[in-house]
Structures are given as structure tokens and as C-alpha cells.
A and B are shown apart, each in its own frame.
Chain A
Amino acid sequence: MTDAVNRIWDVVIIGAGMGGGMAGRALAEQGFSVLFVEKGRAGYRTERQDLNLEMFVPEARRARGYWPDPVVARIDGRVSEFYAPLGSGIGGSSVFYAATLERPERHDLEDTSGRPHPTNGWPIGFDDMRPWYDEAEKLLHVCGTHDPLSSEPDPNMLTPPPPGEGDAVFAAEFEKAGLHPYRLHSAIKYKEGCLDCLGRKCPRRCKMDGRSAGVEPAIETGNAMVLTDCEVEAIRGADGQVSHIEAIRDGAPITIRARAYVLAAGALASPHLLLSSTCDAWPNGFANSNDQVGRNLMFHLNEMIAIWPPKSARFDGASKTISIRDLYHANGQRFGTIQAMGIDLRYGEILHYLRGMLQRSALPNWRILRELARVPAWVALRMLGEAKVFVGLMEDLPYPENRVRIEPKNPRQLVFDYHFNDELKQRRKSFRRHMKKALKGMRSMFLGIQPELNFGHPCGTLRFGCDPATSVCDPDCRAHEARNLFIADASFMPTSMGVNPSLTIAANALRVAHIIAADLKEPARD
């Protein structure tokens, strides 16, 4: 442990998730000394648990790599407290993910003709990002088939295993409906005896995520170290740079120093940390003179829909390999990808979903209502037993009033405000109409009425940009006000795109690592 504090690291990375893990790997492989500072626990390599949003004992949550405390959400004025699908540990949330690593499209990053960009484009273009997507796909071992609607090259895509019989029949059905299904892009090696760890930890290095493709290879170089059970309390500095970070380990405060600092604690925890790190120079939070830290919080909307496959289709397990981009952008509107969720609706999931809806509804929080939710859950299970669950991931747009903030009465909690903008609600209605129309000829049913935010996909809260007045970091993801502080998690995104964020997090993390490496020039030798 004295190893970690009595030296100046080349790079200290706060948060060992997808972004932190990939950035750390790239830097360690180039010979730089890298320290991951991770709030969560190391866990055991052979674990196989799912995320559990019902478990409420914080020590038990920590032991399993879950974010230990509930988040507090004020959504359209109503406050609710719940466990978000966030991880805390080596690999962060990504160890639980379904490994769906999809690229965005050109119009997600750029202003293109006929598809104006909501923030006039990201500060770097699609062609600048492309080599990083290529590199990320290679390191994360992504397999899949090419999207028939895309003309962009994808050189590192690996061949997936052949589809199950059910999915093959199902895909043919989508084609008959005039759609263009392709095999979803997954970061899974499908080793012999693959346990299909979608939504849970993989005990072998078969599912590629922030742990197996990031932190573990980083440690294998001999240049990286992880401090677990180590929560960063504050980032300190002055005169345009970070001087050190203050953390707690085994109940005792420690100070850690580096030549470059990478903040990758996630789009909720990263801004929370900056907002908590106040000082005379930055009374509103570290590097936050422009009050942009935490703002422009975006999620995706989950339009969950049950689709019945043809009766002849035989499945062993959930449908998990079909993705469709026909509605990615339609009739001038930004929608998103439609993909198989890879879960079958089980009683527990339906019940949890209904209880979540109850909690966020206007009904009083009576125990009896929570119990009565079992009845519709049971009915739903009977009806939906054969259906496969798909999700339309709709793009969310940035609004400054949607934000992470600190609640003074309880400053350690992750708190955010979110308001469903009218524009979003209209676009969502339109997306649902488009989905129904596109699936005409197949039996389908939406699984929700109210808009559902995907709390596993927060982004945007420390966005990059050229204008220091409206962004937190520059096009290099370097904080405008602190030249040795970099952002490498989903916070950097100015728009949320219509796809899962993880591949973009990984690609950007590799890009930022490259920039840091150039900054540091020579690796430090102790």
C-alpha cells in the first residue's frame, strides 16, 4: 500500500470500469505506470451473479460489485429512491452488461445533410473516431454481422457463431416484413462451455468488458496496480491543474499524486465527485467555473416491446442476437436501434418492472400495492411466456436542467434531476408509431405506457466541446480548467446517440489514452 502513496504515478485513473479500464490498459501497455483507484471491491474471479436491484444490505451489495447505495431521482418533480443498474468494482457496470458493442452512425457525431445535429456536431468527427472504434472492437473481440443499411467499413468485426435455429427463423420473419436484421455486435468470445453471461459476471475471460479487456491486461503488463475499497473523496488543485486526490482506504485518508489524472467513475459519480471537490478557487466544484459540471444528463428511453416469433421457431433460451437499424433515423427524426434484449421475461423481472412503475407513478407507496403487483405479473407471464423481448433504444437530447447535483442534506448520495421534455415525449410517440408500423405482419405488444428511462446508460454530464463556456472539457477530453485532468467515461458525450454507449466509451478512452501518452512523452522510471 505504501507503494501506491509514496510515489508519483504517471497516470491515476479514478474508476476501473469500461472507460478507466481501457484507458489504463492502453497506457500500461505503452510502459506508463498506472494506478486504478476503485471504490468497489475486487470480488472473486469465479463469481457469476446477476445485477440485483432488490438487495438492500449495503455490505452485501458491495460484496457483489453493485453500487451500494440507492440513487435519488427527481423526475418531473417526483422524488424516488432506487437502486440503479450500476456496478462498483473492477470492471464497473460493464461486468454485468450484455456485451452489446455497437457503433453510432455518422449523423450521431456530425451535422450531415438532412440530419442536423442537436449540438452542431461533436468537436471531433466520425472519421477521427473511426480508428478508435476499430481498435476498441479489436481489443474487445467484437463479433457480429455487418448492418445491411450501413456503408461504413468495419474491418475488425469477427465472425459470430451461427445463429440458433429460433433466431434464424425469427430474422427471416423480420426480413419478410421488409426490415434489415443483422447479427448484433457482441464482445463475447464464445469459448467452449460459454455460459452466456448477459446481465451477469463472466467467470472466465470469455465476455470482454472493462475487467477482462481493460484492467486485467493492464495489470499483466506489470505497469499497473489497482487499489480497491478506495473511495476518492476529493480532487484538489489550483492554477489550472490537479495537484493530488484525497481518498479513503481502510478508514484512513490517503493522498495520491500523478502526472495525469483520468476521471472515469461514471456519468453520475464523476460529476458528483467534481461538484463535491470545492475550494476557494472553485466554489461550485472542481474545474466548474462555468456551472456545466453535471448538466446535460441524458439517458436512453427504453421502448420495450414483446414480439412473438413464428410458431415454427424453436428457441433454447432468450433471443439475443438480432439488431435492426431501419428506424435509427426515420422521417427526419432521431430514433435509435431496435435490438433483442437477450432476456426472457421471467416472473421476477416482470414483477420488478411493475413495482418500479408503481414506485415512479402517482400512486401512494403502500406495501399492499407492491404485493398486489404479483397478480398482473403472473398474468403477464402467462400471456408473454412465448414472446421475445426487444428494446427500441431511443436517443435522449441534452437539456441543461437535466443534471446531477449535490443534495446538501445528504451530500454523499447520487442525486439527479430529470424532466421529460415535450420534444422527447413527441418524438417517443412517433418512434412507437413507427415501430408498430414497421412490425406490421408480426404480433407485437409494447411493455410499457409511460416513458421509461434506461438508468444503466447515463451520459453527457461532463461533455467535451470547443467552447469553454458550454462544455467541461476540450476536444481532447482535457478539462478546460485543469490541463492534467481527463474525462474517459460516458460523461464526455454531448449527445447520447441511438446505440448502447459502451463501445463509444471504450473507443474514446483509447483516444484519450493516446493523447495522455503524447503529453507524458517519456514513461517515468522509478
Chain B
Amino acid sequence: MTDIGAMLKGGVAVVTGASGGLGRALALELCGKGMTVAGMARSGDGLAETAAMAGPDFHPIRADLSYAEAVIAAFKEIRAIGPVTVLVNNAAVYPRRDFLDETGSSFMATIDTNLSGTVHATRAALEDMVTQGFGRILNVATFADLTPLPASSAYSVSKGAARIFTRAVIADLADRFPDIVIGDWMPGMLRTGMGIPDGLDPAQSAKWGAELALWHDPSLTGAVFEMDREILPPRSLKARIRDKLLMRRQVVRRLGQG
């Protein structure tokens, strides 16, 4: 069996939103693991700072991810560095606004930035991955959609849509390309601009994210991880009883096991 995990290292990992926060931490962590990383973001200054910290394996790529043409052009630039084997969809904005302080347009602008960015980047990365027949896509997600916090409506909708996007893309690709592994990862509540003051250090969370991003296993397609462990889908009462009777234990996969 060919080791696709090793083959991932022969290509480029694209991290969106690499100008700060979790995106920067992920880029640094991936470079530390020997990956060539292309970091995408709107902010040139932020990307430059990340580049200074990460070293020569990091390539800053400025692009507004909400524009399809900009993303296509950016990926063309990235392809000159190497084929895209890993994509971490991390870029997001989280404007905290009461819904009554939003207009329909301001709301949809947030959706556009967050959802379009994921869609365009995924579509562009798949050009390489479908040609190669393998790849890894990790979508940084949140449980925000289940019980949205107040003043977070646009963010919650966009993150919920992104989770459905993961499932929809899997419905189209998983049977044809079992070696393009796609899944969601919830980093936890972080101590970043977008997060909370007493949150987790993004550098710690990024360790888990980077490990997961380089973990290539077809059975991870559709898997949802939160921080360092897998979150299994909820089972119906019937299913739980059946598993109890058949003495079937569910295995929860964990990161950081060495």
C-alpha cells in the first residue's frame, strides 16, 4: 500500500486566513513539520509577519477569497511552487452584531466572505487533488450553528453552511475519490481576536489541527474532530440499544498520541 501521508509532504499545504490568529499558528506548525505552506489572506502586513516567523517554507499569497477569479489566480501562483495536496479552510470573519444592527446586505457580506472563501478555495484545490487522485481538506468549523450565540447570526449561518458544504462535497466525491479525505475540525474557543480572552492558546490548538491536516486516512472522510478528539455523530435510541446488544463499542480517535 502506498503511503499517501508521505505523498502529502511532497506537495503544498494551503492555509487560508494565515495573517494572524489560528491561521498563523497552523502555518507555523505545518512549516515546523516540514511542509511547504502557502498562506492566503487579504492582509499583506499580517502575511509578512507570519512569513518572518515561519521561515522560507512559508509562501505568502495575498488574495480576497470571496472573489472566484482572485482565488483561481492565487492557486495558479501556488501551483508554480508545487501541487496542492492539503487545504485548511480557516479564513473567516466574525463581526459581532445584533441582527437588528445588520442590514440584509451586511449580513450577506459576512456569508460571502466566510462561505465563498471555503467554496472557492476548495474548488481550486480540487483541480490538483482530482488530477493526483489524493488530497486532504480540513475545514475549520464550529458548533456555532447549533445554538447560535447572540450577536453572531451571520457568522453562525456561514459556519453552519460550511458544515453542510463538507457533507455535500463528500456526497459528490467520496465514492470516486476515496483518497481525497475531507473533514471538519473544531479548534475550541481560542484566545484570539475572534475568540475569547480566557480561551485556549492557538499554538496548542494548532498542534492538533496540523496533525489532523496531515493525517491521511480514507476513514476520516466526514469525521468531525473537536480540539484533540473525534466527535461521533449522535445515534438514535434504537441504534444505541442495537450497539449495546451487539456489544459494539464506538472507537473515538484522538490526536497527540505520538
| Given A193-B1, A193-B2, CB of A49 within 8 Å of CB of B130 | no
Mind listing 27 A-B residue pairs with CB under 8 Å? A44-B130, A44-B131, A44-B176, A44-B177, A46-B130, A46-B131, A46-B132, A46-B133, A46-B177, A47-B176, A47-B177, A48-B133, A48-B176, A48-B177, A48-B178, A48-B179, A49-B175, A49-B176, A50-B175, A52-B175, A60-B172, A63-B172, A64-B175, A64-B176, A193-B1, A193-B2, A203-B133
| A376 CB to nearest chain B CB (Å) | 17
Residues in chain A near residue B175, CB distance under 8 A: 49-50, 52, 64
Known A49-B175, A193-B1, A203-B133; 12 more pairs at CB < 8 Å: A44-B130, A44-B131, A44-B177, A46-B131, A46-B132, A46-B177, A48-B176, A48-B177, A48-B178, A49-B176, A64-B175, A193-B2
Look across to chain A and name the residue whose beta carbon is closest to the beta carbon of B171.
Answer: A60
Instruction: Kindly state the separation between the CA atoms of A46 and B1 in the bound complex, as whole angstroms.
Output: 16
One digit per residue, 1 when the CB lies within 8 angstroms of any chain B CB and 0 when it does not, for chain A 180-211 equals 00000000000001000000000100000000
The 5 closest A-B CB pairs, nearest first, are A46-B133, A47-B176, A49-B175, A49-B176, A193-B2
* Nearest-Cβ distance from residue A56 to partner chain B, whole angstroms: 13
- Note all chain B residues with C-beta closer than 8 A to A49: 175-176
> How far is the CB of A230 from the nearest CB of chain B, in Å?
22
Residues 45-85 (chain B) with a chain A CB within 8 angstroms: none
Residues of B within 8 A of A64 (CB): 175-176
CA distance A49 to B174 in the complex (A): 9
- Closest CB-CB distance, A214 to chain B, in whole Å? 21
How many interface residues does chain A have, given as a range? Answer: 10 to 19
A230-B132 Cα distance, complex, nearest whole Å: 27
The answer for the CA separation of A133 and B162 in the assembled complex, in Å, is: 54
Interface membership of chain A positions 24-67, coded 1 if the CB is closer than 8 angstroms to chain B and 0 otherwise: 00000000000000000000101111101000000010011000
Q: Chain A residues with Cβ under 8 A from B172's Cβ?
A: 60, 63
Chain A interface residues (CB < 8 Å from chain B) = 44, 46-50, 52, 60, 63-64, 193, 203
Closest residue of chain A to B131, judged by CB? A46
B176 — which chain A residues lie within 8 A by C-beta?
A: 44, 47-49, 64
List residues of B (149-207) whose CB comes within 8 Å of A's CBs.
Answer: 172, 175-179
A64→B172 CA distance, assembly (Å): 10
Please indicate the chain B residues that have their CB under 8 angstroms from the CB of A60 in the complex. 172
Contacts of B131 in A (CB 8 A): 44, 46
**Per-position contact with A for B1-16: 1 when CB-CB < 8 Å, else 0?**
1100000000000000
Smallest CB separation, B124 vs chain A (Å) = 16
Q: Which residues of B contact A193 (CB under 8 A)?
A: 1-2
By beta carbon, the residue of chain B nearest A60 is B172
Which chain A residues lie closer than 8 Å to B133 at the CB level? 46, 48, 203
A-chain residues with CB within 8 Å of residue B1 when the two chains form the complex: 193
CB-nearest residue of chain B to A55: B175
Please, how many angstroms separate the alpha-carbon atoms of A44 and B130 in the complex? 7
Q: Please, which residues of chain B bring their CB within 8 A of the CB of A203? A: 133
Who on chain B is nearest to A204 by CB? B133
Taking CB atoms, residues of chain B closer than 8 Å to A63 are 172
Q: Which residues of A contact B130 (CB under 8 A)?
A: 44, 46
Name, among B132, B172, B175, B177, the residue most crowded by chain A CB atoms within 10 Å (CB to CB). B175
Most chain B CB within a 10 A radius of its CB, from A49, A60, A64: A49
Residue of B nearest to A46 (CB): B133
- Shortest Cβ gap from A213 to chain B (Å): 20
Return A479 CB to nearest CB of chain B, in Å: 38
For the complex, give the distance between the alpha carbons of A262 and B131 in Å.
32
- In the assembled complex, the Cα of A193 lies from the Cα of B178 at a distance in Å of 16
Q: Given the complex of chains A and B, what is the CA–CA distance between A490 and B85 in angstroms?
A: 43
CA–CA, A60 and B178, complex, Å: 17
Chain A residue with the shortest CB-CB distance to B134: A46
In chain B, positions 118-134 with a C-beta closer than 8 Å to chain A are 130-133
A52–B175 Cα gap in the complex (Å)?
10
Can you name the residue of chain A whose Cβ is closest to the Cβ of B133?
Answer: A46
Q: By CB atoms of chain A within 10 A, which of B1, B131, B176 has the most?
A: B176
Binary interface profile of B, 129-143, with partner A (CB < 8 Å = 1, else 0)? Answer: 011110000000000
Kindly provide the distance from the CB of A509 to the nearest chain B CB, expressed in whole angstroms.
28
Give Cα A47 to B178, complex, Å. Answer: 9
Q: With a CB–CB cut-off of 8 A, which chain A residues contact B178?
A: 48
Compute how far the CA of A60 lies from the CA of B172 in the bound complex, rounded to whole angstroms.
8
Rounded to whole angstroms, the CA-CA distance of A203 and B179 in the bound complex is 11
CA distance A193 to B131 in the complex (A): 18
Q: Which residues of B contact A48 (CB under 8 A)?
A: 133, 176-179
Chain B's closest residue to A50 (CB) is: B175
A47 to B179, CA, bound (A): 10
Considering the chains assembled together, what is the distance between the CA atoms of A63 and B172 in angstroms? 9
- In whole angstroms, how far apart are the Cα atoms of A48 and B132 in the complex? 12
- State the CA gap A42–B132 with chains docked (Å): 17
Q: How far is the CA of A47 from the CA of B132 in the complex (A)?
A: 10
A84 and B175 alpha carbons, distance in the complex (Å) = 19
Q: Which residue of B lies closest to A193 (CB)?
A: B2
- Taking CB atoms, residues of chain B closer than 8 Å to A46 are 130-133, 177
Distance between Cα atoms of A44 and B179 in the complex (Å): 14
